[in-house]
Amino acid sequence: MNKSFDLFLTDELKKVEDRGIKRHLRTLQSPQGPKVMIDGKEYLNFCSNDYLGLANDKRLKDAAKECITKEGLGSGASRLVCGNLSAHVELEKSLAEFKGTESALVFNTGYMANVGIISALFDRQDMIFADKLNHASIVDGILLSQAKFKRYPHNDMGALEELLKTETGKKRVIITDSVFSMDGDLAPLDKIVELAKKYDCLVMIDEAHAFGIMGKNGKGLVEHFGVEKEIDIQMGTLSKAVGSFGAYVCGSSKLKTFLVNKARSFIYTTALPPSVAAASKMGIDIIRQDLALRQKLWDNTKMLHQELKRLGFNIMNTETPITPIFVGDAVEAIHFSKKLFEAGILISAIRPPTVPQNTSRLRLTVTAGHAKEDMMQLLSVLERIGKELCLIG
Ligand SMILES: *Cc1c(COP(=O)(O)O)cnc(C)c1O
């Protein structure tokens, strides 16, 4: 290897190692689920985004297999060349119908959707207002767009209004996660929509952690707040509650046509394997029909929140299955996570740069697939280790 390049890699890696925050890849020897195998040992898994337990659902797998038989594995080209197969079109129809929008467009990932949508729609002359805790893919989309942008303190509507009064742009847009991925709290979409109307501004939301679980029918936080008709650009993913892979943007037909023509992460990439689109469609069908699944998720969520509070843990402002356990120090959070791992429980520590300095935490996610016994075991281990680490009394 080139000597100075090798030295560069060694130095940079030593820096992360010295700070005690080096990241490692872990290999699952089982499918995604409430229990997983790692190095031949079984672990209780409380860190997936598979909220409804659909990632290993037989119905999704069968839909994918059937589609492979009918439409093959690879899509062979980008959607615009000759990779637009029936499964892609069916998925988009199903999404638009469920969300009650004129149209839907599927992207290969949520990351690609945000980067592509934001950079296609906004440029140097435009002004973007962004919540400080927005997902990294939104941040990258904004940087790529070269638009002017102002970040407001997390969910601070007063600060947002002040910015809306003074900051100008040809087009102006508020962009926010709907459910925040690391805190599990909600963006006040009712107030955001009100401000957007008052100050003539567009709204774009990212429903990655809300689609399939929030709202009476699982349509997302737009449904929870009853603002479905008032959000111009609704983005969400198919990789979390839906149990599959990919992302969508729902909105007007014109928006779709615009993005098909202008979003580079849509145009210059091979279409999703059709089987993945077919599995996503099945996931959405299940979400629409199986209300008990969502009920189970919320029962587990409420129980967990109640018990963690009772034990004295700081779970911040979560209102969703994403449950932070606040630690503060990054090294301590990693230590907590390691202790849990030794006790057979998988929960990841989240630290900078994913979250702000001194707000490191465990990020615990509960799913519809967790049984009562799983929850009881989790709570008893958390209580023991929480006391050992003096996080609770
Ligand atoms: C997971 C996530 C994404 C990225 O979605 P992928 O399909 O995993 O690329 C985007 N936004 C938010 C808020 C997310 O949590």
pLDDT for 195:
98
55 and 48 Cβ atoms separated by less than 8 Å: yes
- Pocket lined around ligand 1, Cβ cut-off 6 Å: 109-111, 114, 135, 137, 177, 181, 206, 208-209, 237, 239, 247
- Pairing type for strands 103-107 and 247-251 reads antiparallel
Q: Which of 209, 256, 305, 370 is catalytic?
A: 209
With cut-offs at 50, 70 and 90, classify the pLDDT of residue 118: very high
Residues sharing a CB contact under 8 Å with residue 185, sequence separation 6 or more, in sequence order: 155, 179, 316, 317, 318, 319, 320
| pLDDT attached to residue 387 | 96
pLDDT at 146 over 80: yes
Atom number in ligand 1 closest to CA 238:
7
pLDDT band at 1 (very low <50, low <70, confident <90, very high): confident
pLDDT recorded at residue 27: 95
Nearest CA to ligand 1 atom 4: 110
Instruction: Classify the C-alpha dihedral 257-259-261-262 as positive or negative.
Output: positive
Q: Is 154 a catalytic residue?
A: no
pLDDT (0 to 100) of residue 255? 98
Query: At 62, is the secondary structure helix, strand, or coil?
Result: helix
User: What pLDDT does residue 22 have?
Assistant: 82
Flag the least confident range among 7-21, 69-83, 117-131, 145-159. Answer: 7-21
Query: Whose alpha carbon is nearest atom 10 of ligand 1?
Result: 110
288's tokens: 């629409």
| Sequence-ordered list of residues with C-beta below 8 angstroms from that of 105, at least 6 positions apart, any chain | 92, 248, 249, 256, 259, 260, 266
* Closest approach atom of ligand 1 to CA 240: 1
Mean pLDDT of the 39-45 span: 97
Q: Reply yes or no on whether 209 is catalytic.
A: yes
Both tokens of 123, joined, read 């440029």
Is a pLDDT exceeding 90 seen at residue 353?
no
Supply the residue whose CA is at minimum distance from atom 6 of ligand 1.
110
Residue 367, classed as helix, strand or coil, is coil
Q: What's the 276 CA to ligand 1 centre distance in angstroms?
A: 17
The residue whose CB lies within 8 Å of the most ligand 1 atoms, and thus the one to mutate among 135, 269, 320, 322, is 135
Give the N- to C-terminal CA distance of the chain in Å, as an integer: 53
| Known active-site residue 240 | yes
Give the model confidence (pLDDT) of 274-317 as tens digits: 999 999 999 999 999 999 999 999 999 999 999 999 999 999 99
Atom of ligand 1 minimally distant from the CA of 245: 7
pLDDT at site 382 = 97
Judged on CB neighbours under 10 Å (0-12, 13-18, 19+), 209 is buried
Q: Using a cut of 0.85, tell me whether the model's pTM lies above it.
A: yes
114 CA: nearest ligand 1 atom:
10
Distances (CA, A) of 221 to 35, 39, 96: 29, 38, 16
Q: Is the pLDDT of residue 153 over 90?
A: yes
